[in-house]
Amino acid sequence: MEYDVIKKCDTEVGCTESCYRDISVSVPITIKPFGEVGNAKTECVGNAVVIEKYDPCDKKHDNSCKFTITQKLRIEVPVIFGARAEAGDACVDCDEEC
């Protein structure tokens, strides 16, 4: 491994040496996507349809009327999509295992 050494000399004080070393620092990043749902809005589409379940010819008539109402709806669902980044612990590479 080579190091850059810089000498600074002052005749009155002496010499000072500084050592510089290049290193690699790594930080793992995790991206976590998200989807958040807002409040849904409902709108009726067209008219409701009524379907009778009563058959006047049915001998088992129980003195009640049965029917089904069906309505087509349009539902607006707002969704916010995005992602968040999270950093892990930094690691330094000095030609050694991190």
* Percentage of the chain lying above the pLDDT 70 cut: 72
Is the Cα torsion angle 56, 62, 67, 68 positive or negative in sign?
A: negative
pLDDT band at 58 (very low <50, low <70, confident <90, very high): low
Mean pLDDT of the chain: 83
Distant-in-sequence, close-in-space partners of 72: CB < 8 Å, separation ≥ 6: 44, 45, 46
Dist. CA 86–CA 29, nearest whole Å = 6
* Boundaries of every domain in the chain: 4-57+66-93
Asked whether the predicted pLDDT for residue 45 surpasses 50, the reply is: yes
Contact indicator for 88, 30 with CB cutoff of 8 Å: yes
The pLDDT score that the predictor gives to residue 98 is 45
